[in-house]
Amino acid sequence: MWREKIMSEIVRLRFDELPVSEDIKKAVLDMGFETASPIQSEAIPYLLEGRDVIGQAQTGTGKTAAFGIPMVDKVVPFEKYVQGLVLCPTRELAVQVTEEIKKLSKYKKGVWVTTVYGGDSIERQIKSLKAGANIVVGTPGRVIDLIERRALKLENVQMAVLDEADEMLDMGFRDDIESILQETNEDRQTVFFSATMSKPIMALTTRYQNEPKLVKVVKNEITNANIEQLYFDVKGKAKMEVMTRLMDFYGVKLALVFCNQKKKVDEVVEELVLRGYAAEGLHGDLRQAQRTNVMSKFRSGLVTILVATDVAARGIDVNDVDAVFNYDIPLDEEYYVHRIGRTGRAGKSGKAYTLVVGAERNRLRDIMNYTKVKIDKGVIPSFSDVVGVKKGMFIERVQNAIQDGDLDLFGDVFGALQHAGFSTEQVVAALVKMNMGVAKNEFADENLEGENDRNRRNDRGNDRFGNRDSRGGDRFGNRDSRGGRDGGRFDRNDSRGGDRRDGGRFDRNDSRSPRTGDRQRSFEDRGPRTDKAGKPYRQDANMVRMFVNIGFDEKISPANIVGAFAGESGIPGNTLGQINIFDKYSFVDVPKEYATTVLNRMEGASIKGKRVNVEIAKPAN
């Protein structure tokens, strides 16, 4: 029987009391931690005993150290074979986990950690593995490729961890995960960390774990008590003005801004830069080198505002983030939890501000119901409020500069300005204006709050069969805009993909009519494709059909294709549309916004060890 404990009832352990080596205790102390988090307090003792564990925990709860400390402690140093394996859904998370484990193994000599993921040189990764890696952290698709190239051998793995298991299953990695686990020895210790306990995850635990212990953080603890959460009712056109006022008024030094679409990320970054802020964007179109560069500048403080999509932000772990801004209200309640978990870390306080426009109040209510936390309405600072704060900061800086001395070199500038006919008051005012970087705009004297009458109507509810919220669709129709197709994802009756029996010539790039004799598998037994809430994804006509030169002859399944596209391209697996698989080739519907990314990132990629060619399908002549 699994033993389940509520974390609030657990006495938190001190790291110096754990039965681990002094090297690890010293490394943990260097990281600034003395007391274990709830998930760490419960999971680490079981893992040190060699027990299998299921940890239900969200981002920001300390789960990496929960499995990283026992993994590092158990490694036999200076042995050049893989003893620990961590699977992650995205390259960003894989990099973050690797960095954390390297910190934990700082004083334990002879422990080598390697990261493997798509989008980076596989030859360089193979070279790193051959040099000797004790712990491998990677994405499932790349791990499979390395196994099939015989560059990665897992028969000596003592601990295998699936980090964010639910996310990997959502991205279509189930077949890859099972294949990987089957490559490891049966006596391994198997650990699952997941935000949810869905049926697919429970099925995996039943098959691959031995009497696991279940530990979890309840929802009330997911939203950190150190985080001040506020929402602001705003006019849609005033979002940027409100956000920058909040940044200036509260003196935010390091901020994360979340948008729902990569196009919006680019727009927000451009406007922030025009306003004089040091901002950069992070989304799926960036190559790995660009992502690494952006994150490096954000961690060092050269970039003070990072604007990102939810998927791209997976794995961001920066302890000094002052505030998180939901520029767009998240499409999923869980995304809200992931977002705000990026601030208020390591015992510090943080702020989470959500900008709400009109009918989005309904989605905000869903978030409050989910997190069991009341989010209060904030007051938008006026233009004069912001100017007042900046005046105070300017006066303080001037006082500090005077006290520092060495002003003789600049004394003649004031005299030159007076000689030009400007008064002392004019010169001082101009310098203050230039230094503060605040100028009146069309919003300066305007009320930026949303239209109250309309909001009150939304609060009273909608008609029974009308629109529930701004995600689109009616109560019994389309739920949201996250992608996918209405009804079954693998609809064999698609008019573009059915067999043509008229004997006509078939162009291999024709996405409408596969050649005579090719079989196309029916996926009707899978039922309609649904989201986490069990609701069908809406049909999205904004798709590009792509040709892939691999099919049933290579024992390819839809999950293999979804896993490869998501793992190599970094796009959400659940945004892919219809998949038609034939003997020697397949067709995949990809959202237009991701088409270029998929074509670039899938170049030279492999599916189940076979190098594939992906191109846009062309209609027959």
More confidently predicted of 228 and 415? 228
Strand partners, 523: none
Cβ distance 581 to 540 under 8 Å?
no
- What digits encode the pLDDT tens for the residues 63-106? 899 999 999 999 999 998 999 999 998 888 898 899 999 999 99
Provide the 10 A C-beta neighbour count for residue 593: 17
> Residue 483: is its pLDDT beyond 90?
no
Band of residue 438 on the pLDDT scale cut at 50, 70, 90: low
pTM, entire model: 0.49
Domains defined for the chain, CATH in brackets: 7-221 (3.40.50.300), 223-380 (3.40.50.300), 384-436 (no CATH), 482-621 (3.30.70.330)
CA-closest candidate to residue 582, choices 606, 609, 617 = 617
The mean pLDDT value for 104-114 works out to 93
Sign of the Cα torsion 564, 569, 572, 578 reads negative
Band of residue 124 on the pLDDT scale cut at 50, 70, 90: very high
Cβ distance 500 to 589 under 8 Å?
no
> What is the rounded CA–CA span in Å between residue 107 and residue 364?
46
Token readout for 36 is: 């274990």
pLDDT at 528: 38
pLDDT at 224: 59
Sign of the Cα torsion 38, 41, 46, 50 reads positive
The mean pLDDT value for 342-351 works out to 79
Band of residue 488 on the pLDDT scale cut at 50, 70, 90: very low
> What is the rounded CA–CA span in Å between residue 332 and residue 336?
7
Strand partners, 137: 86, 115
CA-closest candidate to residue 571, choices 311, 375, 187 = 311
Token readout for 158 is: 């003592």
The mean pLDDT value for 403-420 works out to 74
More confidently predicted of 216 and 24? 24
- Tokens 């029916």 correspond to 522
> What is the rounded CA–CA span in Å between residue 280 and residue 319?
18
Q: String of b and e for 324-339 (b: at least 16 CB within 10 Å)?
A: bbbbbbbbbbbbbbbb
> What is the rounded CA–CA span in Å between residue 301 and residue 283?
19
Sheet of 586-591, strand order: 579-581, 586-591, 543-548, 614-616
> Residue 237: is its pLDDT beyond 60?
yes
pLDDT at 230: 93
> Residue 189: is its pLDDT beyond 70?
yes
- What digits encode the pLDDT tens for the residues 544-561? 889 999 988 888 888 788
